[in-house]
Structure 1
């Protein structure tokens, strides 16, 4: 047993959190000072809600490959992966080279260019559902435009989404209540992985549904994979009721050369993309059947100053055309699958209520067994354990999402995976008593 493990043996969860928070604060005086200054000019001291956590967020100074350094000089293994957008790490030379050469030729040309045609052709060749594609600045915009296309195509207004789903900052559907930031669209919700409930909701709005939108795996909802039966059932339901089926693959597109739709053999009518596909630049895309996308050939407007910005187009073409090939996507998927099974084996061997849900290179820590198959509201003990896990990983020099999500990047190799597995094993050993006392075993 290591000395660090022995120091973290607490008799109760509250004491453990007090200690972990104190260690966090003591090691990051510059981040604390920056947060205080930022709060004078930005509400909450930040401009991105997912990065806001107590007592203050760690501020990063630089990154290289799969490593990060904060402004206090601490080094981390980056397993947050910019919430899946940082697939290529921080210093991929091919992307750096193409960005530098593109900058030399000008940044805002106010015209079409060769880069967008090249990237569009790559994406149409990769994703089974995408016959035509258009670009945007984010996954949020991509989802908004896909829903607009579905409403225009069908002449209907209602949209079916799932409880716990997230399709962008203005398209959030929490398990409890409603997000005040979500646009006032005509949205009806069904339970995730519950096809009977989806059919019930659809029957109540027969003839009104324009679209069914779903993530093949809930991202911010806890990396909960959809069952094949659920997705296939939604495919059939959309066809039956004349709605457009939209797969939000902003996160899951990394799971194969053609996303989860190719891996599962289930083809939606439209697909939305974002995150890593722009090579780390701002990016979003929506595409689908030619007859739906033809609406944008004069009937439906789709503006956006930076939709085809030369940096995203150039970096995206290099990222998807030269680096993240279907073979590389498959290797990353298998690496993530092996890691998740390894971590879950550690928890099972220790007989603690802990494990990781996910698919491939994305996973989220859970503090219950058996692992959840649908999103749920965590209790106070589980929330406390999730916070403790986050702080303990930071103390071990591992940076992941505050909600416990891990997104592997391509530079993460066997050494880094071993390091993370060792840190999780130490957490289980040090916090085992607290885990067993949490009541998460069913």
Structure 2
């Protein structure tokens, strides 16, 4: 396959797809133009922007979303894993309405925050004590800072392709300009030998190693059991805090990926869907670490945040954990995702298009390469224009996915939805096969 020639042909097809996109979404374009008068590029969240303009959404129901242009889409994005419950779960709605009736922003402790903490503690025993925040970004910021304060050390090990929130982006060789000014050591993901070499160079200076058991924004790339076990053993031996960022992966089993792998980290961070659709973050871990925040202790560290215990997140989050996210339901949804990803890979395996779907359970990502993807280093031949074309073709077929190729199965996603997606991908494979044929 001549990659340069493929890119030229795909670019032509992509231009045509974008033109159809423009013609089909005129109301969204008008809204984008209006929004641009107050927001830079009409945008306040980079990941949801789409060139030449984003589709504006007006409504969501179950596993569907509706655009300003009047079209309904099968939602296979699920708000980048935060929309696990779908858009109209009655338990979450009832909880939020009850919170409205009782009053909000009361400026004090509530029963709801303790209940939410108990529910999380039960599912994630590694969180012997925990505290709330307003996003996964905040949770990771606090967890890293806590590890530094607890150990008295300054260096933090992260991994290539990692995303730990808006101020912790490690997708490329250069440092993202908004990355927090910590002393980071960037190690190769899923590479025990390469990581060990870097750890050895700074063994006495490392406060924490933070890792996603499966990189989410990096392309749904699972860490191997051996890799995670090695990190656990090394950090325990050197007095380093091991942080599992389970902001996304906690939805992959009742107790997250730490339960699947039976690895207990020193700290865990959570976010996304656990707030029941409201802003949510949590960080916690071993009692001796988290007790640095105990205000009854002398020299306790203060941790502020007006909305840390906001009543909507605490009430809706607890309702979801109590009434919706049973162990059997989580297994069912992740089983549906496993089946879908397996079927998608079987579908594309005989195609002329270089495509593979990575992931685990209800989370997956398409990559336009035939490589065995174990880290972002394996994506050097990924044909990004072909992935963009896939996005526009899926939107035209009525599917809402991430432009970067992320696809998620949510609780209300049905077998019929999955079958429809398989048919749409099959059509893409057939209709676009000529783009890579010499």
Same fold (TM over 0.5): yes
Residue 69 of structure 1: SS of its match in structure 2?
A: strand
Q: Secondary structure at the match of 1:363?
A: strand
Contact 2:352–2:436 under 8 Å retained in 1: no
Superposed CA offset, 1:36-63 (max 9, x none): 1111111121110101220001110101
Q: Secondary structure at the match of 2:69?
A: coil
CA contact (8 A) 1:393 1:423 kept: yes
Does the CA-based 8 Å contact 2:153-2:205 persist in structure 1? yes
CA–CA separation in structure 2 for the residues paired with 1:203 and 1:340? 38
The 2-side partners of 1:132 and 1:361 are apart by 28
> What is the CA–CA distance in structure 2 between the aligned matches of 1:434 and 1:348, rounded to whole Å?
16
Please tell me whether the aligned partners of residues 137 and 307 of structure 1 are also in contact (alpha carbons under 8 angstroms). Answer: yes
Aligned partner (choices 292, 302, 305) of residue 295 of structure 1: 292
Mapped contact 1:79–1:399 kept (Cα < 8 A): yes
After TM superposition, what 4+ stretches of structure 1 lie above 3 angstroms from structure 2?
Answer: 376-381
Matched, 1:243 2:273: no
Which of 272, 275, 283 in structure 2 is aligned with 1:275? 272
2:315 equivalent in structure 1: 314
Q: 1:104 to 1:237 in 2, by over 3 A?
A: same
Partner of 1:195: 192
1:381, distance to aligned residue in structure 2 (A): 6.9
Which residues of structure 1 form unaligned runs of 5+?
Answer: 1-9, 438-442
Specify which of 13, 17, 20 is matched with residue 17 of structure 2. 20
Instruction: Describe the SS at the equivalent of 2:377.
Output: coil
Name the TM-score, length of structure 1 as normaliser: 0.95
Alpha-carbon distance, 1:335 to partner: 1.0
C-alpha separation between the residues in 1 aligned to 2:234 and 2:153? 16
Aligned residue number for residue 396 of structure 1: 397
Instruction: Indicate how the Cα distance of structure 1 residues 417 and 241 shifts in structure 2: closer, same or farther if over 3 A, else same.
Output: same
Q: CA deviation at 1:197?
A: 1.5
Matched, 1:329 2:330: yes
Displacement of 1:149 = 1.2
| 1:346-425 to 2 correspondences below 5 Å | 346-376=347-377, 382-425=383-426
Q: Contact 2:161–2:170 at 8 Å: present in 1 too?
A: yes
1:371, distance to aligned residue in structure 2 (A): 3.1
Q: Secondary structure at the match of 1:80?
A: coil
- Displacement, 1:128? 3.0
State the distance in 1 between where 2:272 and 2:291 align. Answer: 25
Name 1:430's counterpart in structure 2.
Answer: 431
Q: Is the 8 A contact 2:369 2:381 kept in 1?
A: no
Distance 2:380 2:189 in 1: 20
Contact 2:252 2:362 in 1 (8 A): yes
User: What is the match of residue 40 of structure 1?
Assistant: 37
- Number of equivalenced pairs: 428
Secondary structure of 1:350 counterpart: coil
TM superposition shift of 1:377 = 7.8
In structure 2, do the counterparts of structure 1 residues 192 and 378 end up closer, same or farther at CA, with 3 Å as the change threshold?
closer
Distance 1:267 1:351 in 2: 43
* Distance (Å, rounded) in 2 between the aligned partners of 1:414 and 1:318: 26
**What SS does the aligned partner of 2:153 have?**
coil
Check conservation: 2:246, 2:269, Cα contact below 8 A. Answer: yes
* Structure 1 position 433, deviation (Å): 2.1
Alignment gaps of 5+ in structure 2: 1-6
Q: Note if contact 2:65-2:72 (Cα within 8 Å) is conserved in structure 1.
A: yes
Q: How far apart in 2 are the matches of 1:55 and 1:304?
A: 37
Measure the CA separation in 1 of the matches of 2:434 and 2:206.
Answer: 50
Give the CA deviation at 1:202: 1.1
Secondary structure of the corresponding residue to residue 372 of structure 1: coil
CA distance in 1, matches of 2:434, 2:238: 52
Per-residue deviation, 1:34: 1.1
How far the C-alpha of 1:15 sits from its partner, in A, is 2.1
Deviations 1:377-431 (A, max 9, x none): 8568711001100000000000001101011110001100000011011111111
Give 2:179's aligned residue: 182
Counterparts of 1:70 and 1:200, CA distance in 2: 50
Q: Answer whether contact 1:279 1:312 (CA < 8 A) is retained.
A: yes
Corresponding residue for residue 94 of structure 1: 91
Residues 1:107 and 2:104 are matched in the alignment: yes
